[in-house]
């Protein structure tokens, strides 16, 4: 165990990255708590389907001893993908599992979180722990939470996502606007509520591109679907658009105008969606970011290297961060904790810069004049 022997580790954030790290560290005998702001494990519907990659997300689950649980919960066939044009004409139809091999198996966020939570020792996750401050206390940290409780830890890991409270204590570097805004919606019981789209979706994913815009639709194991529009916008578009995203009529009107000329099938998504839509301006951390490592504070996932979702790398990067950080923290090769964190962060930044560039290129390509033809070339 070495550099974390007899040390208390606090992980702030109970997403896939934070929970994977907790599991990996506990397997090596570490003393770990995860502080998660959700009131309990059932308070939120967990978002879309995730495709886990062999060299990152799946590799982390393998080392965590959770592949059997993963195989019992993943969704065979959910990695089927269709590329369509704005008229909903299928131009590419691929079932990556047709050879009988798992390509990038898909699992819903909810079941993945459940697998990770159930793998932890009882009491590892401290719910209702919304961090408000982190203060150095000697060689340790005092964590204070919104509910008035506090905790002390020797090492803190920020796994608290895009709006991380931990990151500003490590670096002042902020993300830049990536040039587009996503509007997210969900349709429950899609088979009955949106039959045309449900049939086109066929239990997998749809990528619809045209007019420098995108619509991505993904099925979920509970019979619902989630969808995301992508449009090139100014950074302040959400504030200046005048749209109340809790008012379905306003959002439908915006969609009709913004996506005029698109098939009526797409309107079915908006008309039958839940009344609340979520606008998400897309940001990315600078690819050349660097900072001086701290001796007992680090971060992983979106907190460290936020990027748009158009290469499907977010959760995979977070889980690989967890794998690499746990390896550094439990290795015999580093003289101290500071050196272990420094090594992890150097490797993590280099990897994130590479993946970030691919992601930005893909994001720009999909929302360009040639977005559809570029994507078809990529998959053909």
Residue (of 183, 154, 341) closest to 273 by Cα position: 183
Query: What distance in Å separates the CA atoms of residue 28 and residue 123, rounded to the nearest whole number?
Result: 17
Q: What is the pLDDT of residues 210-224, one digit of tens each?
A: 999 999 999 998 899
On whether the CB atoms of residues 75 and 205 are closer than 8 A, the answer is no
**Domain assignment of residue 372, yes or no:** no
**Domain assignment of residue 357, yes or no:** yes
147 and 35 in one domain? yes
Last residue of a domain, one of 216, 250, 284: 284
**Domain assignment of residue 376, yes or no:** no
The domain that holds 259 is classified in CATH as 3.30.9.30
312 and 170 in one domain? yes
pTM of the model: 0.94
Output the six-digit token pair for 192. Answer: 């009955």
**Domain assignment of residue 190, yes or no:** yes
Q: What is the pLDDT of residues 95-149, one digit of tens each?
A: 655 454 445 788 988 899 999 999 999 999 999 999 999 999 999 999 999 999 9
Output the six-digit token pair for 107. Answer: 């699992």
DSSP string computed for 357-375 = HHHHHHHHHHTSTTHHHHH
Residue (of 223, 236, 234, 230) closest to 255 by Cα position: 230
Question: How far is residue 266 CA from its own chain's centroid?
Answer: 25
Residue where the block lists tokens 């490797």: 347
Domain extent at residue 357: 2-174+285-366
Query: What distance in Å separates the CA atoms of residue 101 and residue 271, rounded to the nearest whole number?
Result: 38
DSSP string computed for 265-307 = HHHHHHHTS-S--EEEEEEE--TT---PPPSSEEE-THHHH--
311 and 193 in one domain? no
**Domain assignment of residue 377, yes or no:** no
109 and 147 in one domain? yes
Query: What distance in Å separates the CA atoms of residue 113 and residue 162, rounded to the nearest whole number?
Result: 18
Kindly list the distances between the CA atom of residue 67 and the CA atoms of 40, 78, 357, in Å, as whole numbers in the listed order.
25, 18, 30
**Domain assignment of residue 304, yes or no:** yes
pLDDT of 102 reads 47
Q: What is the pLDDT of residues 338-347, one digit of tens each?
A: 999 999 999 9
28 and 83 in one domain? yes
**Domain assignment of residue 374, yes or no:** no
Last residue of a domain, one of 241, 258, 284: 284
Query: How many independent structural domains does the chain possess?
Result: 2
- What are the start-end ranges of the H helices in the chain? 16-27, 57-63, 67-73, 109-118, 167-170, 190-193, 195-201, 237-240, 248-258, 264-271, 302-305, 314-329, 337-366, 371-379
Last residue of a domain, one of 263, 284, 305: 284
300 and 227 in one domain? no
Q: What is the pLDDT of residues 14-41, one digit of tens each?
A: 999 999 999 999 999 999 999 999 999 8
Query: What mean pLDDT, rounded, does the chain reach?
Result: 94
Q: What is the pLDDT of residues 326-360, one digit of tens each?
A: 999 999 999 999 999 999 999 999 999 999 999 99
Residue where the block lists tokens 């086109």: 200
Q: What is the pLDDT of residues 8-17, one digit of tens each?
A: 999 999 999 9
Q: What is the pLDDT of residues 55-80, one digit of tens each?
A: 999 999 999 999 999 999 988 877 78
Query: What distance in Å separates the CA atoms of residue 217 and residue 198, rounded to the nearest whole number?
Result: 10
DSSP string computed for 301-335 = THHHH---STTS-HHHHHHHHHHHHHHHHT-SS-S
188 and 165 in one domain? no
Q: What is the pLDDT of residues 294-306, one digit of tens each?
A: 999 999 999 999 9
180 and 223 in one domain? yes
62 and 18 in one domain? yes
80 and 28 in one domain? yes
**Domain assignment of residue 81, yes or no:** yes
192 and 77 in one domain? no
On whether the CB atoms of residues 17 and 116 are closer than 8 A, the answer is no
Residue (of 52, 195, 62, 167) closest to 112 by Cα position: 52
The domain that holds 7 is classified in CATH as 3.50.50.60
138 and 83 in one domain? yes
Do the bridges between strand 49-51 and strand 205-210 make them parallel or antiparallel, or are there none, so unpaired?
Answer: unpaired
């Amino acid at each position: 165990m070495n550099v974390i022997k007899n040390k208390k580790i606090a992980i702030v954030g109970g997403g896939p990255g934070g929970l994977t790290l907790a599991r990996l560290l506990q397997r090596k005998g570490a003393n770990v708590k995860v502080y998660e702001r959700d009131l309990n494990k059932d308070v939120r519907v967990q978002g879309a389907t995730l495709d886990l990659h062999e060299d990152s997300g799946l590799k982390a689950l393998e080392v965590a001893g959770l592949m059997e649980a993963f195989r019992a919960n993943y969704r065979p066939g959910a990695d089927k993908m269709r590329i369509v044009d704005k008229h909903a004409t299928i131009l590419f139809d691929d079932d990556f599992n047709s050879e009988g091999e798992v390509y990038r198996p898909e699992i819903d966020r909810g079941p993945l979180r459940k697998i990770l939570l159930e793998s932890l020792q009882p009491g590892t996750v401290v719910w209702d722990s919304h961090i408000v401050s982190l203060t150095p206390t000697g060689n340790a940290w005092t964590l204070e939470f919104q509910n008035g409780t506090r905790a002390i830890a020797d090492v803190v890991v920020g796994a608290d996502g895009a709006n991380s409270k931990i990151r500003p204590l490590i670096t002042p570097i902020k993300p830049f606007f990536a040039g587009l805004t996503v509007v997210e919606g969900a349709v429950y019981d899609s088979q009955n509520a949106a039959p045309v789209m449900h049939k086109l979706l066929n239990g997998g994913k749809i990528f619809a591109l045209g007019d420098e815009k995108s619509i991505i639709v993904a099925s979920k194991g509970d019979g619902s679907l989630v969808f995301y529009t992508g449009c090139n916008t100014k950074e302040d578009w959400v504030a200046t658009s005048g749209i109340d995203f809790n008012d379905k009529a306003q959002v439908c009107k915006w969609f009709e105008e913004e996506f005029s000329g698109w098939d009526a099938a797409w309107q079915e998504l908006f008309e039958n969606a839940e009344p609340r839509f979520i606008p998400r301006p897309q940001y990315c951390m600078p690819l050349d970011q660097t900072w001086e490592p701290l001796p007992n504070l680090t971060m992983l996932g979106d907190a460290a290297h936020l990027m748009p979702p158009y290469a499907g790398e977010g959760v995979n990067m977070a889980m690989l961060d967890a794998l690499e950080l746990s390896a550094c923290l439990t290795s015999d090769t580093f003289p101290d904790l500071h050196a272990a964190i420094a090594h992890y962060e150097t490797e993590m930044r280099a990897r994130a810069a590479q993946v970030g560039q691919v992601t930005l290129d893909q994001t720009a390509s999909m929302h360009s004049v040639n977005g559809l033809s570029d994507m078809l070339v990529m998959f053909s």
